[in-house]
Amino acid sequence: LLLRWRRRRRLWKKVEEARQRQERSLVQMEMAVWRFREQHPSVNMVSILNLPLPELSKKLRDGSLPPEHVFYAYVGKALQIATETNCITEYLQESEIQLRKAKLPEKLGLLYGVPVSIKDSIDCEGHDSTLGFIKNLNKPAAEDSVVVQVLRRQGAIPFVKTNVPQSLISYDCNNLIFGQTFNPLLYTRSPGGSSGGEGALVGGGGSILGFGTDVGGSLRFPAAFCGICALKPTGNRLRSSAMNALFWSLPVVAAVGPMAKDVESLALCMRALLSEDMFNLDSTVPPLPFNEEVYSSTRPLRIGYYETDFFTMPSPAMRRAVRETKQLLEDAGHTLVPFELTNIDYVIFNFCTRGMFADGGTSFLKKFKGELEKSSMGLFFWLMKSPSWLKTVLSWIAKPFMPRFSHIIRSMRANTVDEVWSLHHEIEDFCHQFIAQWKKLNLDVMLCPMLGPALGIGYPGKLSVAVSYTMLYNALDFPAGVVPVTRVTDEDEQELKGYKGYFRDWWDRTLAKAFHGSVGLPVAVQCVALPWQEELCLRFMKEVEAL
C-alpha cells in the first residue's frame, strides 16, 4: 500500500508539473503579445484576424503584411480562446526564434509566415506528445514529425500544441493531465475529438490552420462540432511519424490532415504539403503533387448520396442538411444518384471494433498500465480483461435484449493469426465491392451525413457506437472532408421529439438526449472521393461550400 501510495503521489506530481507548464505557456503568450503591442500600438489585429488564409498568405509573400504582425495577432487570439476553452497544452516558444529568422528567407514557401497549430500527438522537437497519458510526460520528441518538418520548410510557424482525449480513442476531448476542452460556440458542448483542441482553437479563430489525425473521425468530428472545414486524406497521402501514437495493429487506416475555416485554405495547405519536401523526407509517400487541373475544374459532377446508414439514425438537422445540399447541387447542374449502403453494422463491429482490438484489447490495455485513471471506459476495460469464454457467454446472454452490445462483446475477443489474416482479406473484399458499386453508378464523389450537432460534454464517451458515419471511410481508406452547411432550427428541435433510433436501445435513447437543446449550432455534411483523389474531394467541398 505504501509503495502504491508513493507511485500515485509521483504521478500526481508529474501532472501538477505539466499543468504548471501549461500555465507558464499562457503567461509567456500574454507577455509576448503585451511586448508587441507596446512596441506597435497602431497595428490593427482585428483586420489581420479577419483575412482568409489565401489572402493572408498572399500579403505575407508580397511583403505588404509583416510576419510578426500576423504572428502576434494570432498568439493574442489563441490566448483568448485557450482561456475560454482550455484547448492549448503548450506554447512553442522557439516559434519566436523562427519568426525572427523568417525575415531573411532564402525562398518564400507557400505558407511563409503563417502561424499554425499542432495536435498533441504530432511530434514537435523538444516537446511532449502525451496522448493524454501521464507516462508520456517529460519525454520530449527527438525531432519534428515529417508533416511539421515540411510545414517549416514551407515557411509556416508552428506556435502551439493542442489538447486531446486520453489514448485518442474518443470523440470528446478530456484527459487527466490538462482536463476538459470546451466548444467555443457553446461551452456546455464537446468540441469533438480526438483533435478537439484543434477544433476549438480553429473554430474560435485562434488559429488559421491546424493539423490533426483521424482514425475514426478525429478530424471530422471537431470540424463538424465547431463549424469549420477539415480533410481526412487517404492514409498515406500525407505522413506524420507520430502515427506510432496510434498504437494498435490497424486494418482501419489512420491519416493526418488539415483543419481550417474554409475549403480554399485546406487546398492551399495541401498544395504546400504535397511538395518535393514531403516526398524527399518520407519515401513511403507516393510522389503525387497537388493536381491543380482537377481542383480547378468546373465540369458538372455525378454525385452519389445517402441520408442514413441504417445504423445510427440521423438527427432531423443531419437529414435536412443532406437533402438541402442535394437540392442545391441539382439546381447547380450536377447529377445526384441515390447510393444504398448495406451491412454497416457488420462493418462497424467486425471490421472496425474487431480490427482495432484484434488481440482482445491486450495492446490497448498495456497503454493504460500505471495510469492514474482508466479514462471513462470502465466497462470496456473490464470486458477486455475478461477471458474469451466469458465474452462469448455474455454476448449470447445480451443478444436478445441488447444486440449491439452483444456484437461489441463478441468483437472484443482475441483472434488467432489466421482470423486476423481473414479479417484483412474481408476488408479488402468489402472495399472492392464498395468501389464496384461506385463505378457501376459512374460516380465522381459522394455526399454523406455527418454526426451533429455538437453533443454535450460527456456524451461522446457514452456514444462510441455513433461513429458509423465517419469510421466507414477509415475502413475503406477513402479521402473524406467536412463542410458546415446549416444550423439547427426550432423545427429540427420539434422533430427530435419523435427520434427513436433504429435499435431503440440505451444508446439510441442517450443519443436523442444528446441532440436536444441545439438550436443555432452548426451541422455539416461529409464529402467523399475515391482513394488518392483528394483534389476531387476538395473540389466537391468547394462546390458545397459555395452553394
Which one of 285, 314, 343 terminates a domain?
Answer: 285
Is the pLDDT at 143 greater than 50? The verdict is yes
| Confidence category of residue 241, pLDDT binned at 50, 70, 90 | low
Instruction: Judge contact between 114 and 157, C-beta under 8 A.
Output: yes
Determine what percent of the chain is predicted with pLDDT higher than 70: 96
Tell me the average pLDDT across 338-363. 90
CATH code: domain of residue 516? 3.90.1300.10
Residue among 544, 528, 538 at smallest CA distance from 292: 538
CB under 8 A, 24+ apart: contacts of 7-15:
7/370, 8/372, 11/134, 11/370, 11/371, 11/372, 12/372, 14/134, 14/137, 14/138, 15/134, 15/137, 15/176, 15/177, 15/372
Instruction: Provide the Cα torsion 103, 80, 483, 436; round to 10°.
Output: 80
- Provide CB contacts within 8 A for 15, sequence distance 6+: 134, 137, 176, 177, 372
**Would you say 265 is a known binding-site residue?**
no
Is the pLDDT at 244 greater than 70? The verdict is no
Determine what percent of the chain is predicted with pLDDT higher than 90: 85
**Cβ density class 473-488: b for 16+ within 10 Å, e for less:** bbbbbbbbbbbbbbbb
Domains identified in the chain, total number:
3
Is the pLDDT at 247 greater than 70? The verdict is no
Tell me the average pLDDT across 332-350. 94
Q: Given the DSSP bridges, would you call strands 445-449 and 522-528 parallel, antiparallel or unpaired?
A: antiparallel
**pTM score, whole prediction:** 0.96
Q: How far is CA 412 from CA 352, 388, 479, in A?
A: 11, 8, 28
Residue 506 belongs to a domain: yes
Q: What are phi and psi of 119, to 5 degrees?
A: -60, 145
Residue among 543, 216, 199 at smallest CA distance from 357: 216
- Whether residues 200 and 320 share a domain: the answer is no
In this predicted structure, what is the pLDDT of residue 246?
A: 47
- Whether residues 450 and 403 share a domain: the answer is no
Tell me the average pLDDT across 353-382. 80
Which one of 239, 262, 285 terminates a domain?
Answer: 285
**Would you say 423 is a known binding-site residue?**
no
Is the pLDDT at 261 greater than 50? The verdict is yes
Residue among 448, 463, 452, 514 at smallest CA distance from 317: 452
Least confident of 181-195, 326-340, 362-376: 362-376
Q: What are the DSSP E strand ranges found in 92-206?
A: 115-119, 157-162, 174-175, 179-180
More confident residue, 376 or 167: 167
**Would you say 146 is a known binding-site residue?**
no
Is the pLDDT at 321 greater than 50? The verdict is yes
In this predicted structure, what is the pLDDT of residue 376?
A: 57
- Whether residues 154 and 269 share a domain: the answer is yes
**In angstroms, rounded to a whole number, what is the distance separating the alpha carbons of residues 190 and 204?**
13
In this predicted structure, what is the pLDDT of residue 75?
A: 98
Domain that holds residue 531: 296-358+419-546
Least confident of 87-101, 310-324, 388-402: 388-402
**In angstroms, rounded to a whole number, what is the distance separating the alpha carbons of residues 523 and 450?**
8
- Whether residues 82 and 226 share a domain: the answer is yes
- Whether residues 141 and 277 share a domain: the answer is yes
- Whether residues 441 and 377 share a domain: the answer is no
Residue among 431, 451, 447 at smallest CA distance from 439: 431
Of the chain, the end-to-end C-alpha distance in Å amounts to 64
Residue 6 belongs to a domain: no
- Whether residues 340 and 213 share a domain: the answer is no
Tell me the average pLDDT across 283-295. 96
**Would you say 216 is a known binding-site residue?**
yes
Residue 7 belongs to a domain: no
More confident residue, 203 or 239: 203
Residue 519 belongs to a domain: yes
Tell me the average pLDDT across 482-496. 98
Tell me the average pLDDT across 16-22. 97
Residue 51 belongs to a domain: yes
In this predicted structure, what is the pLDDT of residue 251?
A: 67
- Whether residues 130 and 34 share a domain: the answer is yes
- Whether residues 408 and 347 share a domain: the answer is no
Phi-psi region of 258 (alpha: psi -120 to 50; beta: other; left: phi over 0): beta
- Whether residues 407 and 440 share a domain: the answer is no
How many other CB atoms are found less than 10 A from the CB of residue 332?
13
- Whether residues 327 and 383 share a domain: the answer is no
**Would you say 227 is a known binding-site residue?**
no
Residue 119 forms beta bridges with which residues?
A: 162
Is the pLDDT at 319 greater than 60? The verdict is yes
Is the pLDDT at 240 greater than 90? The verdict is no
Maximum Cα–Cα distance across the chain: 73
- Whether residues 330 and 410 share a domain: the answer is no
In this predicted structure, what is the pLDDT of residue 254?
A: 87
Residue 363 belongs to a domain: no
| Confidence category of residue 2, pLDDT binned at 50, 70, 90 | very high
Q: What are phi and psi of 179, to 5 degrees?
A: 85, -160
- Which residues does the annotation mark as catalytic? 119, 194, 218
User: In the 3-class helix/strand/coil scheme, how is 391-406 assigned residue by residue?
Assistant: HHHHHHHHCCCCHHHH
Q: What is the mean pLDDT of the chain?
A: 94
**Would you say 481 is a known binding-site residue?**
no
